[in-house]
Structure 1
Amino acid sequence: MARRVMRSADRATLSTAQRDAGGWPYPSLVLAALDLDGSPLLLISDLADHTANIKADPRVGLLFDGTQGLAEPLTGPRVSVLGRAERSEDPRHRVRFLARHESASFYAGFGDFSIYRIAVERAHLVAGFGRIHWIAGEDLLFRLPDIETLALREPDIVEHMNEDHADAVALYATALLGQGEGGWKLTGVDPDGCDLRLEGRTARLAFDRPVFDAESVRAELVRLVKRARDRRGETPG
């Protein structure tokens, strides 16, 4: 559930220790993406206070808010992640972030912007009144060996779905996620589900179970498009 909240969010509140104010917590708003293992990814500028704070003390907190649209927000889920921010030179992390946030491509190439990966140490899930859990980092994230196969195939899966199965992607967005019509695109696939985008809007389609290879992803996507057609009362063409 914690990963589902995190993957559904396209932004987070970042808390760093303000270096020139005695370490007082400094909260800021950041765009966020998640790696396949569940590690948060940020694209931040060296000119920002939070980046200077990270360079002095890499410990950070991230709040992922899953309460949007609820009449009583405190009954909804949110996840506080504690970890250390590490600058990443892995090109896959940059590609994955920009697929989630296409508009960031405008400034991502500026020399002061870098991708940071959060090495999660633990997380705090509040899933509503009385449903509160601390989660160790190793229990929140998938192990790197488990995601390697899917990481290699993710670009092919995304391209194939957008080019050859745009009708299925549209059904995911409209019939399963209640989104409006439009040119929805698949932007990423991970063990928990897939990300969709239409211009500046994002949506999240969750799988019923974690998957770790292309064939399992294909089976989940086929099952989900059948579910979408059933809801629409359609039959396969």
Structure 2
Amino acid sequence: MQLTPDFDPAKAVRSLLRRSRQGALATLMAGSGDPYCSLVNVASHPDGSPILLISRLAIHTKNLLADARVSLMLDERVEGDPLEGSRIMLSGHAEEVTSDRDLVRRRYLNAHPSAEAFVDFKDFSFFRIRLTGTHLVAGFGRILDLKPAQFLTDISDAGSLLEAEQSAVEHMNTDHQEALGLYATRLLGAGAGDWRCSGLDPDGIDLQTGNMTLRLDFPERIAGPGELRKVLVRLAEQARAPVERI
């Protein structure tokens, strides 16, 4: 299907991956192989792949432990007809997180602070969906399939940034709430709110207030904390600049 010239499908997928906090998870019933769908909370790994915190007592967890193949649908959640909003159907394999659990834990809790109440329960585990592809539906003329390499964030050289991420998130939320509010209202056109930072990665910053999540892309990719500070200052200056009147 032909795409409109001003549409960037990879950017549309990345935006939904970063902004989504709930999704419909499809698994295969253990034993029968019948399809099973459930609602799950979602956060994102620094590379954009989905993170789940789920109980081993849940049917979907038992299913994916027997067969790791899963599909996850994330949608725009627009007002009015939900079919008018963008959505992505992700395919992949769910893997229990072992090697980078601390990183996954903090990113999930930044996105879902209420999960602090049960995150350490013995039956709960983090799973990361290793993506194999996605199907994007974003309106007429905007339906296509993409491979993970087209939309996931490259973090191969961003080790120092990931190490500094949590301190940067806490610093922004403690000392720069005004800047976060300006990012949301002046740069992204959102309403006023108690905006806070819930994540940082080489491509951008995630902002949340209540049940609303926004994504502000950086003007260029960054890989270290020094670059992060410079780009956040530049964005704050841009947000504070007087609006030109015509």
TM over 0.5: yes
* Whole-Å separation in 2 of the counterparts to 1:153 and 1:140: 23
Equivalent of residue 113 in structure 1, options 106, 119, 124: 124
Q: Deviation digits for residues 56-111 of structure 1, max 9, x if unmatched?
A: 10000011102523x45444321111110011022110111011100111111111
Q: Kindly indicate whether residue 74 of structure 2 is the aligned counterpart of residue 35 of structure 1.
A: no
CA RMSD of aligned residues (A): 2.2
Q: Which moved more, 1:77-86 or 1:138-147?
A: 138-147
Report the AA paired with residue 63 of structure 1.
M
* Whole-Å separation in 2 of the counterparts to 1:180 and 1:136: 34
Report the AA paired with residue 106 of structure 1.
A
Residues 40-79 of structure 1 aligned to structure 2 (within 5 Å): 40-69=50-79, 71=80, 73-79=82-88
Q: Kindly indicate whether residue 92 of structure 2 is the aligned counterpart of residue 83 of structure 1.
A: yes
2:78–2:84 CA contact under 8 A, matched in 1 = no
TM-score normalized by structure 1? 0.87
TM-score normalized by structure 2? 0.84
* Whole-Å separation in 2 of the counterparts to 1:101 and 1:59: 25
Q: Which moved more, 1:100-109 or 1:143-152?
A: 143-152
Aligned-residue sequence identity (percent) comes to 42
Number of residue pairs the alignment of both structures matches:
231
Equivalent of residue 157 in structure 1, options 157, 165, 168: 168
Equivalent of residue 184 in structure 1, options 176, 195, 200: 195
* Whole-Å separation in 2 of the counterparts to 1:200 and 1:72: 19
Question: Cα offset for 1:155?
Answer: 1.5
Counterpart position of 1:146: 157
1:175–1:232 CA contact under 8 A, matched in 2 = no
Equivalent of residue 215 in structure 1, options 226, 232, 243: 226
Q: 5+ unaligned residues in a row in structure 2: which ranges?
A: 1-10
Q: Kindly indicate whether residue 32 of structure 2 is the aligned counterpart of residue 26 of structure 1.
A: no
